[in-house]
Homo-oligomer: A and B are copies of this chain.
Amino acid sequence: MLVVKKFGGTSVGNKERIFNVAKRCIEEYQQGNDVVVVLSAMGKSTDELIAKAKDINPNPPKRELDMLVSVGEQISVSLMAMAMAQLGVPAVSLNAFQVAMHTTSDYTNARLRSIDVERIRAELDSRKIVLITGFQGVDKFDNVTTLGRGGSDTTAVALAAVLKADKCEIYTDVDGVYTADPRIVHDAQKLGEITYDEMLELASLGAGVLHNRSVEMAKKYGVQLVVRSSLNTNEGTIVKENAKMEKMLVSGVACDKNIALIAVCGLQDQPGVAFKLFNHLAHHNINVDVILQSVGHDGTKDISFTVSTDNLDEALSVMEQHRQTSLICEKIDVDRNVSKVSVVGAGMVSNAGVAAKMFEALYDAGINIQMISTSEIKISVLIDEQYTEQAMNAIHDMFINAAK
């Protein structure tokens, strides 16, 4: 059996944890399995490197930023190989160059294109544990790239896909996927299984367990994921195409505080205005989420939308560049004190009334809804950030505790 295991930065944050991960991987290896391990940078080391960069240049060239932060995973994999050697098991660390982890040239947010498995196969055939740097790649000109936050998950899933692995285990600091963040909703429950689509909505909604691109890729290539804890041996949550039907209508409640609301007021009301606005942003790889368009006064219209706070400054600067040409408007307002609360569930498709129940829960809790966005399997609302925890508990009570 070939198993890909991915461990995040917390799991390899110090010597003791490195040895814990080493032992865990060695157990799998000693059962006769081929083991490929994907590691993130240790603890907060990526953040520390970025801080070092910004101290030198507040707006560092992205190419150089990727060159810099990619060292974090290289440290993790080489130290892990040493730990395994110390435990008597042969291991080899490989970076993005060494496995030809080819990506696009979109620095800090590159997308995987191809991986050369020859070296990995050869090392596995010689019965080594293969340790691969997560998060990073190289473009066709040999420049170092990174895949963006959570990119190590994507690396692991991509490797599982090209190696046709039997399992792809994503180890994290929680036991699996919960119906809500247990730090916010104390009676949140662990899910045994969940579909790719539900996980995708939860990931993109800020549930934070899995990176959404990794789930997309897992769905595309049919890689069965297991999300489990690196701290205990509890069974985790299996993410796959046809998850067992849970009794619950809703499989999870998620929130995302890392968003800001941009309101563009007084736009000329003519065709193509919205297209141009979002096209400018798309050209800069800025994802726009919940969008609301409303009629303004005197033949104008207002467009409000949310972006990740990480992209806020860039979004505003892009818009400012076009204010004299294709984006003539009265004003652009920003509200950082918003959060998005969502319910997700494959069961929604065939069940009307979920939205009504959600709004009822919020109404009962006295929380005002600013914007609404829905998909086949999720409903999101934008609310004042200070009511996030209260909203999540109210919704969780309504759907999940009530369903028990």
Most buried by B among A57, A60, A82, A93: A82
Which of A73-88 touch B at CB < 8 Å?
74-75, 77-79, 81-83, 85-86
**Does A56 interact with chain B (Cβ within 8 Å)?**
yes
**Does A55 interact with chain B (Cβ within 8 Å)?**
yes
Q: A189 to nearest B CB, angstroms?
A: 38
The 3 closest A-B CB pairs, nearest first, are A71-B71, A68-B78, A67-B78
Contact B64 A85 (CB under 8 A): yes
- Interface of chain A: mostly helix, strand, loop or mixed: helix
Q: A53-B82, A60-B82, A68-B75 are in contact. List 17 more A-B contacts (CB 8 A).
A: A15-B56, A19-B56, A53-B78, A56-B82, A56-B86, A57-B83, A57-B86, A63-B92, A64-B79, A67-B77, A67-B81, A67-B93, A67-B95, A70-B74, A97-B142, A98-B142, A119-B142
If A68-B74, A86-B57 touch, does A79 touch B52 (CB 8 Å cutoff)? yes
A119 to B138, CA, bound (A): 15
Contact bitstring A240-261, B, C-beta under 8 A = 1, else 0: 0000000000000000000000
A61 to B79, CA, bound (A): 10
Q: Across the interface, which residues of B come within 8 angstroms of A300, CB to CB?
A: none
Q: A100 to nearest B CB, angstroms?
A: 9
Q: Which of B15, B56, B142 contacts A83 (CB 8 A)?
A: B56
If A63-B92, A97-B142 touch, does A79 touch B74 (CB 8 Å cutoff)? no
For A96, the closest partner residue in chain B by CB is: B97
For A87, the closest partner residue in chain B by CB is: B57
If A67-B95, A95-B67, A98-B142 touch, does A60 touch B85 (CB 8 Å cutoff)? yes
A64 to B254, CA, bound (A): 41
Which of A90-138 touch B at CB < 8 Å?
92-93, 95, 97-98, 119, 138
